[in-house]
Copies of this chain bind each other. A is one copy, B any other.
Amino acid sequence: MKHGGDLTDAIARYGGAPGSWLDLSTGINPRPWPIAHALPDSAWQRLPSRADTEALLDAARKAYSVPDGADIAAAGGTQALIQWLPYLAAPGPVAIVGPTYSEHAAAWRNAGHAVVAIDNLDACPDRAVHAVVVNPNNPDGRVTDRAVLTRLAERLKACGGWLVVDEAFADVDPAVSAVALCPDLPVLILRSFGKFYGLAGLRLGFAIGAPEIITRIAAALGPWPVSGPALLIGAAALGDQPWADRTRRALQQQACALDEVLVKAGFAIAGGTPLFRLARHPQALQLHAKLAKQQIWCRSFDWADDLLRFGLPSDAAGLDRLAAALRG
């Protein structure tokens, strides 16, 4: 499977209806920020206004601690930004720390850049003009040190390159963010709204970087890249600091409870973030099939036959169902 979060394949192979499945194949918070049910009709009907956009960006600047001297742009999902960056970046090879989310390499390749797979940023070869790191990384949760990011960004600056830091899972530990580097270095931060806030269908993501880079990205995205509902919901959710604080603590607890179930079933925890756990088991692929037959969908990888990734169940009943299915 190329991505998590799409039961189309699971249903085609194992049957059932979307509602009967327990989908643990994503890193999306299953307890989303609560949307007020009555969005104003204007959110659907009108073109989003500049005032709406500014309200969203103000909330995002605060939530992501964007420093003075850096700018921010909103897109219809981080994926839209991942697609554009290789077309806007200077020509030249890109080094990508992996294994990781596969769409980075796909997008740079599609735009004609050579892609160099590396194990860690310190291994970035001199010929690479750009580098991409997911931080914390998906699926293993590895965190790249700020000093390493800084050192590489300084090197890439000298050759007109970019260091793309995909912080899709940084909300659970904001201290990880490299956003402070943006004003002085060609560091481009990607922030995903949908994962931590549990609203992936909304399609909302952000790029943060030096103003000259963000201006180019905004020009490429063009007017109205974000839907009216996403502008309103995004602004309200990003401004809800108490929810974010509570949710960080709750996700930690939910991840611990999930670890306990996995360890009891013979897995070793190999990494992850509070939004997903990477677990090792010699019979991982057999367990993937066993769970699928009980309509529980987790994530397998074509580059490892002993690893599975588990997202969080939305409640205790879901966790019990997973535990029972692993035992059964």
A residues with a Cβ closer than 8 A to B are 3, 5-8, 11, 18, 23, 26, 28, 30, 32, 35, 37, 41-51, 76-77, 79-80, 82-83, 87, 103, 106-107, 110, 194, 198-203, 219-230, 233
Is the pair B45, A222 in contact by a Cβ cutoff of 8 Å?
A: no
Q: Which residue of B lies closest to A227 (CB)?
A: B203
CA–CA, A5 and B11, complex, Å: 43
Give the shortest distance, in Å, between A13 (CB) and chain B (any CB).
14
Q: Chain copies in the assembly?
A: 2
CA–CA, A198 and B43, complex, Å: 11
CA–CA, A201 and B30, complex, Å: 26
Give the shortest distance, in Å, between A42 (CB) and chain B (any CB).
7
Which of B47, B83, B201, B233 interacts with A47 by CB under 8 Å? B201
Q: Enumerate 20 A-B pairs (CB-CB under 8 Å) in ascending A order.
A: A5-B46, A26-B47, A28-B45, A28-B46, A32-B45, A37-B37, A42-B201, A44-B202, A45-B201, A46-B201, A76-B227, A83-B222, A87-B87, A87-B220, A103-B223, A110-B219, A202-B228, A203-B227, A227-B229, A227-B230
Write out the residue numbers on chain B whose beta carbons fall within 8 Å of the beta carbon of A79. Answer: 222-225
From known contacts A50-B6, A80-B76, A222-B83, infer whether A35 and B28 are also in contact, taking CB-CB under 8 Å: no
Is the pair B44, A225 in contact by a Cβ cutoff of 8 Å?
A: no
CA–CA, A80 and B76, complex, Å: 10
Q: Which residue of B lies closest to A233 (CB)?
A: B44
Q: Which of A18, A44, A47, A201 has the most CB of B within 10 A?
A: A201
Which of B6, B49, B103, B227 interacts with A202 by CB under 8 Å? B227
CA–CA, A296 and B77, complex, Å: 35
CA–CA, A35 and B41, complex, Å: 9
Is the pair A44, B199 in contact by a Cβ cutoff of 8 Å?
A: yes
Give the shortest distance, in Å, between A129 (CB) and chain B (any CB).
19
CA–CA, A73 and B43, complex, Å: 24
From known contacts A80-B225, A203-B76, infer whether A51 and B220 are also in contact, taking CB-CB under 8 Å: no
CA–CA, A200 and B47, complex, Å: 5
Is the pair A48, B201 in contact by a Cβ cutoff of 8 Å?
A: yes
Which of B8, B45, B46, B227 interacts with A49 by CB under 8 Å? B8
Q: Which residue of B lies closest to A223 (CB)?
A: B79
Write out the residue numbers on chain B whose beta carbons fall within 8 Å of the beta carbon of A51. Answer: 8, 11
Write out the residue numbers on chain B whose beta carbons fall within 8 Å of the beta carbon of A229. Answer: 201-202, 227, 229
Is the pair B76, A201 in contact by a Cβ cutoff of 8 Å?
A: no
**Given A18-B49, A32-B41, A200-B224, 10 more contacts at CB 8 Å?**
A5-B46, A8-B51, A30-B45, A45-B199, A45-B200, A76-B227, A83-B220, A103-B223, A203-B227, A227-B229
Q: Which residue of B lies closest to A76 (CB)?
A: B76
